[in-house]
């Protein structure tokens, strides 16, 4: 399954990539956990909906610590 797991940190929203493309992402960026363009103040729904729109075919979920 192609999945992106979002979580809010003090530095901003991070996206964890899972699925077939995760290895290619790791080769490109050195990690499958990447920062998004959203600050920590961005609303959950805004981040989730935007990331889902930009990544069709992925299940996008939010983890709340």
At residue 58 the predicted structure's pLDDT band, cuts being 50, 70 and 90, is very high
Whether the pLDDT of residue 1 is over 80: the answer is yes
- CA pair distance 34, 22, nearest whole angstrom: 11
**Band of the pLDDT at 64, cuts 50, 70, 90?**
confident
- 61: β partners: 5
The answer on pLDDT for 65 being more than 80 is: no
Per-residue pLDDT tens digits for 24-57: 999 999 999 999 999 999 999 999 999 999 999 9
């Amino acid at each position: 399954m192609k999945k992106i797991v979002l979580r809010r940190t003090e530095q901003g929203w991070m996206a964890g990539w899972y699925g077939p493309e995760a290895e290619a992402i790791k080769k490109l960026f050195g990690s499958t956990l990447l920062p998004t363009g959203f600050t920590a103040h961005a609303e959950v729904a805004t981040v989730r909906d935007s990331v889902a729109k930009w990544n069709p075919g992925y299940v996008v979920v939010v983890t709340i610590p």
